[in-house]
């Protein structure tokens, strides 16, 4: 396993994209139901006051450094953190490999129709890919047995859960063993971006570490969430020994 560095009590894997992909592939081969989380500053902040999320992240098989904030925090605390591994990019790498490895993928989450549009996009981008099921992410407790059965029957190797943080992590942790999927990943807005419903920041903004600003501009309803970022910076600094 890779080295894990602790940021605000959460152990994050110090991995490159290539290492993250290799680790996910190992988890698929091992076939023991595993959870992969993509930790950005907002998720790490939430874990400081959400004990359930905190425990789920520290029990996850892989926690990748998603976001410039996470990489900054690791460096500020004196750890090595080779690069940002954005959840969206990790998913694209895995989808690219899936046809070659005959892996089956399930898209779960986002508003009605989004997962199907993301599936159509994946089929164009990655010929031969097997998206073996889709299901929107708005449901009641009464719908859950049917959703679980749909995922089980799909015999997926990778489950992408796009229910938002922390719902996706909690749902995956609660149902991990019955779902019996080798790798489940909480992917936030990834299906929205694949479906073309939400745009990703242009590359220059990603390079300038401004993806968070772009997201807030595009979806002003998210702007309130920005307050987590300066709080994160202060908290990481205060935790420095």
Chain residues that interact with ligand UDP, rule: CB under 6 A: 109-111, 137-138, 162-165, 167, 188-189, 192
Task: Between 103 and 190, name the residue whose CB sits nearer to ligand UDP.
Answer: 190
Tell the smallest beta-carbon distance from residue 222 to ligand UDP (Å): 7
Rounded to whole angstroms, the Cα distance separating 162 from 30 reads: 24
Of 51, 102, 87, the residue nearest 200 (C-alpha): 87
In angstroms, give the least distance from the CB of 234 to ligand UDP.
21
Q: CB nearer to ligand UDP: give 111 or 213.
A: 111
Alpha helical stretches, state H, the chain: 17-30, 41-49, 51-59, 68-76, 87-101, 114-125, 144-154, 167-179, 190-195, 203-207, 211-218, 228-239
Residue nearer to ligand UDP on the CB measure, 34 or 110: 110
Nearer to ligand UDP, 160 or 162 (CB): 162
- Minimum CB separation of residue 32 from ligand UDP in Å reads 25
State the nearest-atom distance from the C-beta of 91 to ligand UDP, in Å. 13
Nearer to ligand UDP, 25 or 170 (CB): 170
Q: Shortest approach of ligand UDP to residue 138 CB, angstroms?
A: 5
Residue 175 CB contacts under 8 Å (≥ 6 apart), including other chains: 144, 148
Q: At its nearest, how many Å lie between ligand UDP and the CB of residue 11?
A: 19
Q: Which is nearer to ligand UDP, 72 or 108 (CB)?
A: 108
CB neighbours (10 Å) of residue 14?
19
As a whole number of angstroms, the distance between CA 206 and CA 58 comes to: 27
Q: Residue 147: which of 94, 106, 182 has the closest Cα? A: 106
CA distance from start to end of the chain: 26
């Amino acid at each position: 396993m890779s080295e894990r560095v602790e940021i605000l009590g959460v152990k994050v894997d110090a991995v490159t994209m290539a290492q993250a992909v290799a680790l996910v592939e190992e988890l698929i081969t091992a076939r023991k139901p595993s959870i992969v989380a993509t930790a950005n500053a907002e998720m790490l902040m939430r874990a400081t006051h959400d004990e359930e999320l905190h425990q789920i992240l520290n029990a996850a098989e892989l926690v990748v450094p998603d976001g410039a904030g996470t990489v900054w925090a690791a460096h500020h605390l004196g750890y090595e953190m080779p690069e940002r591994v954005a959840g969206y990019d990790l998913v694209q790498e895995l989808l690219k490999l899936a046809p070659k490895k005959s892996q089956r993928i399930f898209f779960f989450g986002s508003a009605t129709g989004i997962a199907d549009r993301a599936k159509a996009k994946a089929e164009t981008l990655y010929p031969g890919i097997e998206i073996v099921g889709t299901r929107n992410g708005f449901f009641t407790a009464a719908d859950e047995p049917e959703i679980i059965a749909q995922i089980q029957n799909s015999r997926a190797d990778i489950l992408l859960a796009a229910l938002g943080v922390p719902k996706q992590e909690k749902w995956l942790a609660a149902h991990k063993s019955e779902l019996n999927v080798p790798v489940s990943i909480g992917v936030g807005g990834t299906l929205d971006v694949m479906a073309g419903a939400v745009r990703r920041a242009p590359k220059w903004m990603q390079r300038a570490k401004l993806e968070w600003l772009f997201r807030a501009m595009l979806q002003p309803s998210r702007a309130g969430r920005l307050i987590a970022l300066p709080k994160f910076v202060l908290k990481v600094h205060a935790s420095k020994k």
